[in-house]
Amino acid sequence: MIVSMWMIRDLVTIEPATPIPQAAAIMAQRHIRRLPVIEHHDNGPHPVGIITATDILHAYPPHVNPFAIVVSDTQQTHTTAADIMSRALQTVTPETPIDEAARIMRNMKISTLLVVQKMKLVGLLTESDIFRAFVSILDSRQGGMHITFEITKEGEDIFGFIAPIALRWGVHVVSLMSVEKDGRKMCVVRIVGTAVEAMLEELWNSGHSVLNVLRIP
């Protein structure tokens, strides 16, 4: 999967000169927590910063709620988006693998990535989008069985191991992925078909340690 499959395309943006009260009103009205800051160029919008709801909160005194429906005159500020936006932007392209985008978010401890193509802002990817992407891999609506087993052989070809077994029993492999946790390499496979129990039995007898089995009606 790649970023373009999950990114937000209907973008709400502001410009560097946008007053903070206006940015706060946009967030409140659209129920969003972040706004890309863009400059307009011939080929489209170029990102120059991003502001979050937390940035706006910090721009006001502690007793002021900038996201209130009615903002009094005493709550107004001459601060603009350019004054508080983050300029150290983390970006990906539409073709970036979704797992690489997730890795960047984890390593940088951020919740949003700007998606750019030829310097033009084309999308936004949030931690919620990453979550939706990975949930889709393990979507259980088709029923069947989730099997988690340990990979014990160094460099083992898991697809080459699973495919012949699935073919032999006429079982459909819906998803297959390998993960590493605490130094242990594991595989999670989701299968559907009338012979899933027989395939599970063969996995048990293959010498691989089956760690978890989830049967889904």
Could you report the per-residue pLDDT of 180-211, keeping only the tens digit for each?
888 889 999 999 999 999 999 999 999 899 99
Rg (CA), the chain: 24
- Percent of the residues in the chain that have a pLDDT greater than 90, as a whole number: 70
Average pLDDT of the segment spanning 21-39: 94
* pTM exceeds 0.85, yes or no: no
pLDDT, residue 83, reads: 94
Do 203 and 147 lie in one domain? The reply is: yes
Clarify whether residues 36 and 93 are in a common domain: yes
- Residue 70's pLDDT band (cuts 50, 70, 90): low
Mean pLDDT estimate for the chain: 89
User: 74 pLDDT band (50/70/90 cuts)?
Assistant: very low
Cα–Cα nearest to 113, from 193, 102, 85: 102
Identify the CATH number of the domain in which residue 42 sits: 3.10.580.10
Please name which of 29, 27, 23 lies closest in space to residue 82, comparing C-alpha atoms. 23
> Cβ neighbours of residue 57 under 8 Å, at least 6 residues apart?
66
- 92 & 161 share domain: no
Banded model confidence at residue 134, pLDDT cuts 50, 70, 90? confident
Average pLDDT for residues 79-95, to the nearest whole number?
A: 94
> Domain boundary residue among 134, 149, 184?
134
Domain total for the chain?
Answer: 2
Q: What is the DSSP string of 1-65?
A: -BGGGTSB-S---B-TT-BHHHHHHHHHHHT-SEEEEEEEETTEEEEEEEEEHHHHHHTS-TT--
- Boundaries of domain holding 206: 140-216
